[in-house]
A and B are shown apart, each in its own frame.
Chain A
């Protein structure tokens, strides 16, 4: 019963480097989301996906790209990391439908120097 698994848990990057965060869920959920959490700002939606092969922009999409090639995986990419992207990133998934609950991963802490 893994739920939502995020890798890596921690990463330190230099400005301009690229990286990919991987999110995997084993609940057969249609919807997947990437949020970032910053002190005093709560959680802000970066990108989301309503199904395999589809993605859409959230509240703060600039500087990030995503892909959903398989239903169970949702990748978040940073092409050229900036210090402003230092944050804790959370992936979540849910079944279709507005009343359904989001299940969150444990988070990935990214530091950009």
Chain B
């Protein structure tokens, strides 16, 4: 079965420190991987995606993610956290099969950045 796991419900980091939000996946074939962010009482917003090519993907707001095929991981990173980065982060993978690009989402990780 295809799935996405975000092992941490919450990540706490001090402003200015680097942050990592973890994601691992299980999918048949080559994955399409995505990160979305959700601010309170808002819909999800796209951050970045990996389709093919360079394993390090850069996205919005200074975020980046590294695709690691051997570890089936796609961790989200940022060199220096901001208080405004505090939000709920979702990793997602495209499910193979069918004529659609429906996504399977992880359970989400709450990022709390302390001033």
Contacts and interface: CB of A to CB of B under 8 A. Distances in A.
B43 A90 contact: yes
B106 A42 contact: yes
Interface in A15-68: 31, 33, 35, 40-45, 48, 50, 56, 58
Interface residues of B, number: 25
B74 interface: no
Interface in B14-65: 32, 34, 36, 41-46, 49, 51
Q: Is the interface of B mostly helix, strand, loop or mixed?
A: loop
Prevailing SS type, chain A contact patch:
strand
Contacts of A44: 105
A100 interface: yes
Nearest to B45: A104
B49 A102 contact: no
A98 B42 contact: no
B43 A4 contact: yes
Which of A48, A99, A100, A107 has most chain B Cβ within 10 Å? A99
Among A43, A56, A92, A100, which residue has the most Cβ atoms of chain B within 10 A? Answer: A43
Interface in A88-113: 90, 92, 94, 96-107
Nearest to B50: A99
Interface in B71-115: 90, 94, 98-108
Nearest to B51: A99
Nearest to B42: A106
A40 B102 CA distance: 20
Nearest to A35: B105
